[in-house]
Amino acid sequence: MRAKNIIDLTDLSLEELTAVIDQALEIKKNPAAYADRCKGKILATLFYEPSTRTRNSFQTAMLRLGGQVIGFDNPMSTSVSKGETLKDTTIIMSGYADIIAMRHPMEGAAKAAALYASCPVINAGDGGHLHPTQTLTDLVTLKDQKGTLEGLTIGLCGDLKNGRTVHSLCNSMAKFGLKAHFVFISTKELTMPEYITEILDHSPCTYSFCDSLEEAIPSLDVLYMTRIQKERFDSLEEYERLKNVYVLDPEKMKKAKADLIVLHPLPRVDEITNEVDDDPRALYFYQAKCGVYARMSLILHLLEETPAQGITFGGEDASFRCPNPKCITKSEGYLPHACHKDGEHTCCEYCDARI
């Protein structure tokens, strides 16, 4: 059964993921063959948080498939500014569109929207939680450049604590059983959360920690840089202290393998110097372009005429209260409270925060 919503990439089966990645690479080779595939279809991009790549690549994807786009990039120019709930906005917009891509600062927002939408919902980033279409983009780029998704040594560098892109990448590779060795390059304060390392512990993936980019870089097949995300810090002082700890420059690139590829979900601030852009191993702008093919393929997959599976929503429990202050249940008080079990842990159904 085909997935209806993409809240996490693992809403796809491994077969579906493989088909979506392969189709994205086919689209890249011959985009003209797909120019009318979504004729008459409408994508709504509901962006409650800033974005350059995700929103515009979703819109480009739908336009290149022959469809049309509606939506907003500033909720304050909509009736959200008058107090309209996520539920009501979603019901209305899903009545206008065939598919929704939603970005929101609160964790679990896309799952909450999927409860009320009458069309498929794609999570385009929910706070520090998940960013499945970025992961799809990353996997398409890896397959395109390395010819495989397995057996790679992948360095993840920067803000591994708050980085939804690196969480999604580890989570997806682990759950799909794609074997990789991850090197977590960060300070102690910004290290990978334990819930991600626990997922990796139950997968074919292995991992190690390193606090020096210089030391780690020679062993890597892929270096995935991330921005230290000012907007996710509670303290400006802490951000200022940590913001320039890892900077990729030509000197460090000299120590890397000849076939290293450097990825970054972007935007970058200072963590990759402009000189690195001229290195043929710097593929982050190409990666952003692959995001269009990845999203074209995903939209096609979700709009296919085969039966789709609705949202899975387990464990409704009126007494459950999520402890995460950034959970969507904190700002949208009407949402049914619910949790699920992940091993021995009880987790919020929306944001996956553990009790």
Q: Binding residues for ligand CP, per CB under 6 A?
A: 51-54, 125, 134, 265-267
In this structure, which amino acid lies at residue 196? I
Least gap, CB of 180 to ligand CP (angstroms)? 20
Burial (CB count within 10 angstroms: exposed 0-12, middle 13-18, buried 19+), residue 273: middle
Pick the closer one to ligand CP by CB: 53 or 104: 53
Least gap, CB of 305 to ligand CP (angstroms)? 30
Least gap, CB of 131 to ligand CP (angstroms)? 6
Side-chain-side CA neighbours of residue 162 (13 Å): 19
Helix axes 132-146, 14-29, angle to 10 degrees: 60
Least gap, CB of 160 to ligand CP (angstroms)? 16
Q: Is the peptide bond between 267 and the residue preceding it cis, with omega within 30 degrees of 0?
A: yes
Beta strands in the chain (DSSP E): 2-3, 42-47, 68-72, 99-104, 121-126, 152-157, 180-185, 206-210, 222-225, 261-263, 308-309, 339-342, 345-348
Least gap, CB of 137 to ligand CP (angstroms)? 8
Residue with tokens 């989570």: 171
Least gap, CB of 9 to ligand CP (angstroms)? 14
Q: What 3-state class would DSSP assign to 254?
A: coil
Pick the closer one to ligand CP by CB: 34 or 284: 284
Distance (Å, whole) CA 231 – CA 229: 5
Pick the closer one to ligand CP by CB: 153 or 165: 165
Distance (Å, whole) CA 175 – CA 205: 10
Pick the closer one to ligand CP by CB: 43 or 348: 43
Pick the closer one to ligand CP by CB: 49 or 98: 49
Pick the closer one to ligand CP by CB: 120 or 125: 125
